Structure 1
Amino acid sequence: MAGFAGFGEKAIPFLKALDFHQSRDWFHENKALFESELREPLGDLIEVLTERFGETGLDLKGDRKKSQFRINRDVRFSKDKRPYTDHVSAILSPDGSKMEQGVFFVYVGLDRCFAAVAWWSPGPELLLAMRKAIVEKPEAFRAMVAALAGNRLEIGTEGQLKRVPRGFEAVAEPDLAAAVRNRHFVVRREIDPAAIQRPDLVETLVDFAVRAKPLLDWGRTIEGRLPRR
């Protein structure tokens, strides 16, 4: 397994140039730069994080190729026909696939660089179970939120419903009512773009994932992967 030496110095400039050209010919002429500055370093990062997450007891792993998202955009049903994204990203999950919930996500892009631990758009059955757990076991939910706060993390509100969903109209406590409106349960850690070039990015991401573990454990308990409290 290779170590992680950081993304290349030309990683962000490459994304900027690709976003400007949005040309398949340009991309193929510069594909070697994409591989060396972005794709291969991201693969190294996935492998190192998989090892480190295993050492720290986090049930998260990935594959250097399969865990990465394609830089090619699917434009079949989109009005935006630009062929390439302006970022690279990857998911580490319990089974190493992109289909699981309770995942670690890393994103390096023109607009921002960040990591996230997330239950992102869980299916209807799991989302309902999470909402029921919030209402029926508020002490466990609040303990999780407090643990995150103690670790300097907070569940985001992106995509939150404007009203409580059907069946939860009677929820009176403001924090619980706000929580059941969530469609995602996610915490993020912004990354300085300059930091992606350093090997110690690994330590930053491992530290963040460990601090986000209360959110993972809460969801895993609801899934039945961990003993219920």
Structure 2
Amino acid sequence: MAFQGFGRDALPFFRALAFHQTKAWFEENRATYETAVRGPMGDLVEDVAVLLAEAKIPIRGDRKTSLFRIHRDARFSKIKDPYKTNGGLAMTRTGSKTDPGVLYFHLSPEECFFAAGFYRLDPAPLGRLRDAAARAPEAYKAMIGKLAKAGLALSDEDALKRTPRGFETVDDPAILAAVRQRHFIVVRPVSEPEISEPALAPSLGAFARDALPLLAWGWDALTDSR
């Protein structure tokens, strides 16, 4: 089914779920979750997958592999509530959510947004991205320039305040910011009215195109054997 937008029950469902964190309440309201959140999210990812394939953007996904579960894994979290109060999808080159270089959509009452890039990497791949920026600064800055033309900039979320070991000689401000990054991501806010429109699918596709310079740069950096 083609994506028609998220209906008026999607965000209120999450607001209510934040208050009613019980299995009994969730099961009583499961039909709302399936029709207002999970169903449209699946339609969205499959419509976007078609748009990306047509545009030859190497990002894949489907309703079986790209959607995040509503159940929270509380084993290693301080938050012990059994249910998440947001929805999301992640698309990658292979379709696996764990593949580095992700296109993401976040749906919650607090904020909705598109994001793309490399988030919460292990130390080794994060080091490769930092090394790539320091080793080839002009290529890195060219990528940043392409993002800027599309109205995007790398987030400095969780950025280090000090230069990490091995990069002490870096003095270019742009590269210094790069080697201090903990994530290489770009974000575009989505308004509440936008989520209710079928145009959300082409908007996510357009965001993927705008963020592609970052993804392509990162993919190359992670496969560089130097």
TM category, shorter = over 0.9
1:8 aligns to what?
7
- Structure 2 Cα separation of the partners of residues 113 and 209 of structure 1: 16
1:26 aligns to what?
25
Offset of residue 111 of structure 1? 1.1
- Structure 2 Cα separation of the partners of residues 110 and 73 of structure 1: 17
- Structure 1 Cα separation of the partners of residues 146 and 78 of structure 2: 43
Normalized against structure 1, the TM-score is what?
0.94
Corresponding letter in the other structure for 1:136 = R
2:168 aligns to what?
169
Point out where structure 1 has 5 or more consecutive residues left out of the alignment: none
| Structural mapping, 1:67-106, within 5 Å | 67-106=66-105
Corresponding letter in the other structure for 2:38 = R
Partner SS for 1:212: helix
Normalized against structure 2, the TM-score is what?
0.95
Corresponding letter in the other structure for 1:68 = L
Q: How many residues align?
A: 225
What are the superposed Cα offsets for residues 133-190 of structure 1, whole Å, 9 maximum, x if unpaired?
Answer: 1111100000000110011100000111111111011111121111100011000110
Offset of residue 220 of structure 1? 1.9
- Structure 2 Cα separation of the partners of residues 190 and 22 of structure 1: 27
1:159 aligns to what?
158
Offset of residue 223 of structure 1? 2.8
- Structure 1 Cα separation of the partners of residues 26 and 62 of structure 2: 24
2:222 aligns to what?
223
Offset of residue 127 of structure 1? 1.7
2:61 aligns to what?
62
Partner SS for 1:28: helix
Q: Is 1:143 equivalent to 2:142 in the alignment? A: yes
Partner SS for 1:54: helix
Asked if the contact 2:51–2:202 (Cα under 8 Å) also holds between the matched residues in 1, the reply is: no
Corresponding letter in the other structure for 2:52 = F
Identical columns (%): 42
What are the superposed Cα offsets for residues 96-134 of structure 1, whole Å, 9 maximum, x if unpaired?
Answer: 001111110111012100010111122322222211111
| Structural mapping, 1:198-213, within 5 Å | 198-213=197-212
After the TM superposition, list the runs of 4 or more consecutive aligned residues in structure 1 that deviate by more than 6 angstroms.
none
Mean Cα displacement is larger for which, 72-81 or 19-28?
72-81
Q: CA RMSD in A?
A: 1.4
Partner SS for 1:189: strand
Corresponding letter in the other structure for 1:206 = G
Asked if the contact 2:186–2:211 (Cα under 8 Å) also holds between the matched residues in 1, the reply is: yes
2:195 aligns to what?
196
1:131 aligns to what?
130
1:35 aligns to what?
34
Mean Cα displacement is larger for which, 61-70 or 122-131?
122-131
- Structure 2 Cα separation of the partners of residues 47 and 217 of structure 1: 22
2:49 aligns to what?
50
- Structure 1 Cα separation of the partners of residues 78 and 216 of structure 2: 40
